[in-house]
C-alpha cells in the first residue's frame, strides 16, 4: 500500500497528515479520538534534521498531555550515511527520537509502528522498533543489511548466503524473518479498513516487551528469551 492509500484507509473522514522532505507529521481522528502520526516516507534516509523534526512532533504530543496514541509510519532507507551527520552527532539524534517515543509510551501515549515499505539499520531502530507494538503491511521489507552487503562483510559467496537465507531466518532480510524474530508482532490485512485494526492493537497492547518470547515461539530467535531469563534468575539467586 502507498502512504496515500494507508491514510485514506485509516482516516475516511479526512486528516491533516503532511509529508515534507520524506518526513510524515500530522493528525487524524481514530475511534473518536485524536491519533498523532509521525514517520518517514519514500525510502528516505533518516539524518540529524529529520530525526529532530520527528522527535519534536512526538514531544509536542507528550507536552499536550492526554493519552493520544502515536502512529509511526515507516518506509525509510537506513540512517543517512555521511561525514556531516556523524560529525554533528547522528547517534544522539536517532537515540533522542527513540527516547521521545519511549517516553511518550511511558506517559500513557500508546505507540504503534507500522512498516509499509523499506527500513534498515539505525533508522529502523530509532522509529519502528522504538514503539510498543510494531506491525507491518504485506510487501514491507525491513532489514538490517541487504545480502550483497552481508556477503561483502562476511566474505561469503552471495549464492551460499541466498541458500542459507531460505532456512535461517536469523540473518536474512525481509518481513517474514523479522516476524519470526518477534520484532514485528503481526501483519495487517490491507483489504480491510486499517482504522479498526490499529484501534484493536491499541486496546490490546502488550504489557511488557514480549518480543523475545515471540521470537522463541516463532523460531526466529530460538535462545534469546531463555538466556535473558537465566540472567534474571541468576541475579535473584
Partner 1 sequence: MSLSWYEASARQRVAALLDAGSFEEFVGPEQRAMSPHLPLFDLPRAFDDGIVVGRGRLDGRAVYLAAQEGRFMGGAFGEVHGAKLVGLLRAALTETPDAVLILFDTGGVRLQEANAGETAIAETMRAIADLRRAGIPVVGLVGGRAGCFGGGGLIAGTCSRLAVSEGGRISVSGPEVIETNKGAEEFDSKDRALVWRTMGGKHRRLTGGADVFCDDTVAAFRAAALDLVGRAPAFDLATLEAEQARLEARIARFGDCRDATAIWARLGVNDPAGVPALSAADFDGLVAGLEGTTHDAR
Q: Which is nearer to partner 1, 37 or 62 (CB)?
A: 62
**H-only helix segments in 30-186:** 48-63, 83-87, 90-106, 121-126, 147-154, 158-167, 175-180
CB of 222 to partner 1, least distance (A): 6
> Least distance (Å) from partner 1 to the CB of residue 98?
6
Q: Which is nearer to partner 1, 68 or 126 (CB)?
A: 126
To partner 1, the closest distance from the beta carbon of 110 in angstroms equals 14
Secondary structure of residue 183 in the 3-state scheme: coil
Q: Compute the least distance from the CB of residue 11 to partner 1, in Å.
A: 27
| Segments of the chain assigned E as strands | 18-20, 23-30, 33-46, 70-79, 111-115, 118-120, 133-136, 141-143, 186-187
Nearer to partner 1, 14 or 157 (CB): 157
Q: Between residues 37 and 179, which has the closer beta carbon with respect to partner 1?
A: 179
- Strand order through the sheet with 111-115: 18-20, 23-30, 33-46, 70-79, 111-115, 133-136, 186-187
Rg of the Cα atoms in the chain:
18
For partner 1, the closer of residues 9 and 79 by Cβ is 79
The distance of closest approach from Cβ of residue 7 to partner 1 in the complex, given in angstroms and rounded to an integer, is 26
Amino acid at each position: 500500500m502507498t502512504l496515500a492509500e494507508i491514510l485514506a484507509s485509516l482516516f475516511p473522514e479526512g486528516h491533516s497528515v503532511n509529508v515534507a522532505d520524506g518526513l510524515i507529521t500530522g493528525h487524524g481522528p481514530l475511534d473518536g479520538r485524536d491519533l498523532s502520526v509521525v514517520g518517514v516516507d519514500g525510502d528516505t534516509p533518516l539524518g540529524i534534521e529529520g530525526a529532530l523534526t520527528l522527535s519534536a512532533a512526538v514531544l509536542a504530543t507528550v507536552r499536550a498531555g492526554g493519552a493520544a496514541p502515536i502512529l509511526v509510519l515507516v518506509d525509510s532507507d537506513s540512517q543517512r550515511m555521511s561525514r556531516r551527520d556523524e560529525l554533528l552527532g547522528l547517534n544522539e539524534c536517532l537515540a533522542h527520537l527513540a527516547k521521545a517515543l519511549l517516553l511518550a509510551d511511558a506517559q500513557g501515549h500508546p505507540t504503534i509502528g507500522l512498516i509499509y515499505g523499506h527500513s534498515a539499520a539505525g533508522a529502523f531502530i530509532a522509529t519502528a522498533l522504538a514503539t510498543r507494538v510494531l506491525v507491518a503491511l504485506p510487501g514491507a521489507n525491513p532489514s538490517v543489511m541487504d545480502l550483497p552487503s552481508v556477503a561483502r562483510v562476511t566474505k561469503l559467496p552471495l549464492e551460499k548466503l541466498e541458500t542459507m537465507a531460505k532456512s535461517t531466518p536469523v540473518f536474512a532480510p525481509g518481513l517474514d524473518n523479522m516476524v519470526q524474530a518477534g520484532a514485528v508482532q503481526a501483519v495487517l490485512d490491507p483489504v480491510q479498513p486499517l482504522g479498526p485494526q490499529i484501534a484493536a492493537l491499541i486496546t490490546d497492547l502488550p504489557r511488557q516487551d514480549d518480543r523475545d518470547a515471540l521470537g522463541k515461539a516463532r523460531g526466529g530467535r530460538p535462545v534469546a528469551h531463555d538466556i535473558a531469563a537465566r540472567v534474571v534468575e541468576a541475579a535473584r539467586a
